[in-house]
Every structure is written in C-alpha cells, then in structure tokens.
Structure 1
Amino acid sequence: MTTEYASTEPTREAVDALQGPVLIEFGTSWCGHCAAAQPLLAKIMADYPQVQHLKIEDAAGRRLGRSFQVKLWPTLIFSRDGKTLSRLVRPTSISELEEAFEQLTGEC
C-alpha cells in the first residue's frame, strides 16, 4: 500500500494505459476523512497485493481528479486495464471496500 500522496499527478492517458487491477485514491494528507479511511485501506490492501495503488494528492484545478469527477475526498477509483469498474467516496466500512476489491480482482 502506498502511504504518501503523490504531489505530481500522472496524465489521464498514463493512468488509462495501466494494465491489471488498479486503485486510484484521491485525497490530501490534511483531510480528516482521508486519514480515517487509511486503517481500512491498509487492512484490505494486505489481502490484495496484486492491486496497484496510486495515491494522488488532489486539489482544485488538478486535471486528473477533475477527469474522474472527484468532488469529495477520499475518492477511490477501481479500474482494470484502463476501464473504471467502480468508485467509493468516503468509505467507512470494510464490507464496502471488500465488495469493490472483489469486483476489481474478479473474485466475486
């Protein structure tokens, strides 16, 4: 699991070109909702080592977040081979994360 938000964002084209299961997490280090989600993400990500994790610092005017229509933090985008499968906004339970990860990895 990636622990720090990247201040430099990749292009949307680069993200769409990623192969396999990918979790894109948008947020900031000072966001309380983002901090509250970290223990849940750490627990679930330990069970899915095959999922690539991009942790992107978001802010007004950041192109990548806007291209995914991010409005609240954290927003989690689950994609496989460049296609968005699902999204969670401000997750608060392991069960909703588990469902999204199972869909992402095809373990449903």
Structure 2
Amino acid sequence: MGAQISSQQKSDHGEVLSINSLDNWKTRFQNSKTSNKLMVIDFSAAWCGPCKFIEPAVHDLAIEFSDVDFIKIDIDVLPDVAKDFEVNAMPTFVLVKKGKECERIVGAKKDELHRMIEKHRF
C-alpha cells in the first residue's frame, strides 16, 4: 500500500486501515458514497486509554465482518476530519453508508458496536 495508508492488521478476512493523509481520506470517503458497503470509522488517539483497550476488539470485528470497511483515524493526525464529524470524545465510532452517517457510538462499547454493524451492514 501507499505510504499514507497503513494497515494495522492484515489477514485473509479483514483489516483496519489507518488513514494518515487528508487526500487519502477524501478519496476513500468519496468512493464510499457510491458503494453500498458499510464503513466503520474509528476516531481515536495514541494517548487514549479506552482506544487502546478496544483496539483488539475492533480488529476482531474487521475479521468477522470482512464485508465492512474499517477505517482508523487518529484525531491528532487528521483533526479536520474529526471536526467535520463533530468528534468530541474517544473512541468514537461513526458508521457511514453511501456517505451518510447512520449510527454513532461513543466509548469502548464492543457489544453495541457489534450490534450496530450487524444492523447496518446490508
């Protein structure tokens, strides 16, 4: 992959992509507008304890739901994206379909995130 997108975890079934440039984010978000695929955006920060706590669970969800795009955005790397989505606490998970927010979960709530992915993935 390019230098601006890094894979947090790769497997045969799913991955979480860290987006580190505004251009790559804009391209990925624009492409999602014409797709029926659910996108889960994980807004986090390197210094956030709850973000680190839920990170393994997010990777597990990416493997379980390989038909869903999992994107990780560090609010300190891309603060404008966090501002656009009105992220005020971490972790915040924003579920997006066809470019529109369909659900939001604030906090390290693995079971709730799992339910919301199930609800919106098709």
Q: How does 1:1-108 map to 2 (within 5 A)?
A: 1-2=15-16, 5-9=18-22, 10-11=25-26, 15-18=29-32, 19=35, 20-59=37-76, 62-93=79-110, 95-106=111-122
Which structure is richer in relative contact order (CA contacts within 8 A, separation 6 or more)?
Answer: 1
- Residues in 2 aligned to 1:48 and 1:57: alpha-carbon distance in whole angstroms: 22
- Given that 2:91 and 2:106 are in contact with CA atoms closer than 8 Å, whether structure 1 keeps it comes out as yes
Q: Distance in 2 between matches of 1:98 and 1:90?
A: 13
Q: How many residues align?
A: 103
- Aligned amino acid, residue 2 of structure 1: V
Instruction: For residue 61 of structure 1, report the CA deviation from its aligned partner.
Output: 8.1
RMSD between superposed Cα atoms in Å: 2.2
Identity %: 20
TM-score (norm 1): 0.80
Task: Look up the equivalent residue of 1:15 and give its one-letter code.
Answer: F
Contact 1:16 1:83 in 2 (8 A): no
**Given that residues 37 and 90 in structure 1 are in contact (C-alpha distance below 8 angstroms), is that contact kept between their aligned partners in structure 2?**
no
Give every structure 1 segment of 4 or more consecutive aligned residues whose post-TM-superposition deviation is greater than 6 Å: none
Instruction: Using the TM superposition, give the Cα deviation of residue 14 of structure 1 relative to its aligned residue in structure 2, in angstroms.
Output: 5.0
Q: 1:77 Cα deviation (Å)?
A: 0.5
Name the SS for the 1:84 alignment partner.
strand
* Structure 1: gaps of 5 or more residues: none
- Partner Cα distance (2:81, 2:104) in 1: 15
- Unaligned ranges ≥5, structure 2: 1-14
TM-score of the aligned structures, taking structure 2 as reference length: 0.72
